[in-house]
Amino acid sequence: MTLKIVGPRYRPNSVWSCAKPRQDRFGMRWGGWLEAVKLRTSNVILPKSDFAKALQYIRNHFDELKRYLDDALIPIDNNETEQLMKQVAVGRKNWLFAGSVAGGERTAAFLTLVSSALRNDLDIWRYVKDVLDQLLAGATDYEPLLPWNWAVTHPDAIREYRVEERKNRTDRKRRKREDRRRRRKQSQ
């Protein structure tokens, strides 16, 4: 996380342009070393061993590694994407236990209810509990149960810190975009 924040600030393009010969030596030295290791160890290291897999991974992704060294704006990891994919993978495993098609449909409806509350920055527990209580009590007017309408009648259930987080995230993205455009114009 720290590298993600500090990296672009302390790796301006002017510093990297001075380091270009060093990077080229790095590419030649390590690229050559990887090929030499492949030739020397082809009879010694089993192809399915962890070490051989690690070397093959480095060989396959060596261009990406060099690209990361060339551009200070490229993040060192893809944790944000991995976290999004993790949600899908965990959900997929959980959805296996719906029990039946009808159970899967009920689960999908419930998850839709929860995700709409999340998108509207509501206290999820309070919203779901209130909606289910009203439905069990026999409410047939569904319009006031929609999250955006429910938030108007329950302003204390809005998670203000989430609103602030979204605003800060949007501002951060806007500033990054402006910085990228400014740097692109300067480099042209």
What's the pLDDT band for 26 if we cut at 50, 70, 90? low
Residues 6+ apart with CB under 8 A from 155: none
Calculate what percentage of the chain has a pLDDT beyond 70: 81
Q: For residue 64, what pLDDT is reported?
A: 78
Contact at 8 Å (CB) between 127 and 116? no
Contact at 8 Å (CB) between 107 and 95? yes
pLDDT tens, residue by residue, 78-97: 777 787 778 777 777 777 77
CA distances for 134 relative to 45, 48, 67, 124, 129, angstroms: 66, 59, 56, 15, 9
pTM: 0.44
Q: For residue 20, what pLDDT is reported?
A: 52
What's the pLDDT band for 61 if we cut at 50, 70, 90? confident
**pLDDT at residue 128 is higher than 50:** yes
What's the pLDDT band for 126 if we cut at 50, 70, 90? very high
State the Cα angle at 52 between 51 and 53, rounded to 5°.
90
